[in-house]
Structure 1
Amino acid sequence: MVNIRELDPSASPLDYFGFELRRRREEAGLKQGQLGACIFCTASLIGQIETARKVPTREFAERADAALGTDGTFSRLVGLVLRSQLPHWFQAYAEMEARATYISTYQAQLVYGLLQTPEYARAVLGVRNHADLDARVAARMERQRILAREQPPVAWVVLDEAVLHRQIGSREIMRNQLARLLELPANGWTQVQVLPFEVGQHPGLMGSFNLLRFDDDPNIVYTEDFVQGHMTANPDALREGFLRYDHLQAAALSVEASAELIARVMEERYGHQPGPIRSAVA
């Protein structure tokens, strides 16, 4: 007899997703392999998701809704599932980020998470820990959905020039990542400026930070160390954060000149053609 793992649907969003997937599949009179055939995956994958051993992707959830006629149930649930895969200390920031109307960020080391390609994110997140890497990458990609909303936040990103030169992953990954940055200004909501090496000392030498503004809530400044993140609405911290950011924007290249520099680094440092970008169902 097959040993079916019993889930407590209240234990976590992932457990609830798996519980509901099994319940809806059985209501439809489908075996795991039959459902897998409908949504182009294996019976084993269906089983792993139903037992909360694997995190579903958004594409999987959308296909499950279509196959089971569940009117968007799994597409709605998968956002909660993926957010729950973020580090516990980061989840509160991700919720505030999703509600912000204006995001300002200075990044000294890496491309901001909302702008990362899946391959770049995988290389960053897998530096010291490969456990649940697929789920952690999917969670980061889920965060980016706020930029595709009908009314996305205004996002203004200042990147240190070092971000362009620091190779994360392969040269192909970097070329695709810089190409992604060049595509962003066309939407009008997200703008990128580069702080060039020639500036020398500047107000961002203490490290990366984010500023979130809201229509109806207090503004927030967010910083991270190697252990956790720190959010505060303290007026003194906000005043200092916005002042530093104003100086960084003033010292950075214009959006147009920044795009020219990104394109030049992309060609000169990573100058081979990017390969196709692949995405998995789950």
Structure 2
Amino acid sequence: MPDKVFKEWDGWGRELRRLREEANLSQLQLAHRLPFQNGLISGFERATRKPKREHAVALDGALSTGDVLERLWLEVTNTREIPADWRDFVRLERQAVEIREYQMVLMPGLLQTREYAHAVLRNHRKWDSDRNVTELAKTRSERLSQIRKETLLWFVIDEVMVRRVVGSREVLKEQLDHLLHLLNNHRIRVTLIPEYAPQHPGLSGSFRIMNLSDGRIVGLAEYWGGQNVVTGAQVNQLLSIFSGLQAEALSPIASYEYIKKTREALA
């Protein structure tokens, strides 16, 4: 019977193999530098064995990789409790050095408070238990804290969602307070598309574009129930649409003032 493969560790194992081969070492040669057996390395690379953090640290030391494998280990373990249909884009988020996102219906997930996220998910996922919705809302509201501190975040959103009540007026007030607080961070920018925008180029749906730390650019186009990952020419199209959205949007300062005035009107 073949060994069970732990799919969540497949990428980690492939990265270990790549680093080992880049160092011109066989599994046996690498094992001689480590306090564990050759068979364990083989299991890691085939994702039939789950590494512990101390394994990642030891391998980084033996391969002189800095902390590459440890950081990847942390990414995998931090993602294990995230629902399967969220995992791919959350992993990409954590590798991103820049994220650009357009949302036409709701506040971007990265900017949502736990209460706002709970209201959105409770309204949408009628089949889920209250416990599952609470856990999903917690996971969504914590995503921003999991992103690299230096990652640049650019959001374009439709003006109407600043006024749209989700859950209750109190939830919206708290969400706008949170948004205004986030906009004091120099790495986060939000601009609004005015309600009157006859040349609005984004009416086909929400999407995001992520520049990853390895130089790749990946797009995620939303649809009901998930997101499609797009690359190549389609990413260029998303970049073009995002530029058009920025051209139609208010300036960051004007957007901030509009959000502030909307919040004050709710008091």
Matches within 5 A, 1:22-171: 83-127=79-123, 128-129=125-126, 130-131=128-129, 132-147=132-147, 149=148, 151-171=149-169
Unpaired runs of at least 5, structure 2: 1-5, 9-72
SS at match of 1:199: coil
For 2:98 and 2:108, locate their aligned partners in 1 and report how far apart those are by CA, in whole Å. 15
| Shift, 1:110, TM fit | 0.7
Taking structure 2 as the reference length, what is the TM-score of the superposition? 0.67
Report percent identity of matched pairs.
Answer: 31
> Which residue identity is paired with 2:259?
I
| Contact 2:221/2:230 (<8 A) preserved | no
Match in the other structure for 2:219: 221
For 2:74 and 2:168, locate their aligned partners in 1 and report how far apart those are by CA, in whole Å. 30
| Shift, 1:81, TM fit | 6.7
> Which string of whole-angstrom CA distances, capped at 9 and with x for unpartnered residues, describes residues 170-198 of structure 1?
10110110111111122211111111112
For 1:157 and 1:207, locate their aligned partners in 2 and report how far apart those are by CA, in whole Å. 14
> Which residue identity is paired with 1:178?
L
| Contact 1:83/1:142 (<8 A) preserved | no
Aligned CA-pair RMSD: 2.5
SS at match of 1:198: coil
For 1:143 and 1:213, locate their aligned partners in 2 and report how far apart those are by CA, in whole Å. 17
| Contact 1:100/1:153 (<8 A) preserved | yes
| Contact 1:102/1:153 (<8 A) preserved | yes
> Which residue identity is paired with 1:126?
R
Match in the other structure for 1:209: 207
Match in the other structure for 1:187: 185
> Which residue identity is paired with 1:247?
G
| Shift, 1:199, TM fit | 1.5
What is the aligned residue count?
Answer: 196
SS at match of 1:92: helix
| Contact 2:111/2:141 (<8 A) preserved | no
| Contact 2:192/2:249 (<8 A) preserved | yes
For the pair 1:245 / 2:205, whether they are aligned, the reply is no
For 2:163 and 2:221, locate their aligned partners in 1 and report how far apart those are by CA, in whole Å. 23
For the pair 1:254 / 2:243, whether they are aligned, the reply is no
Taking structure 1 as the reference length, what is the TM-score of the superposition? 0.64
SS at match of 1:191: strand
| Shift, 1:163, TM fit | 0.9
| Contact 1:104/1:155 (<8 A) preserved | yes
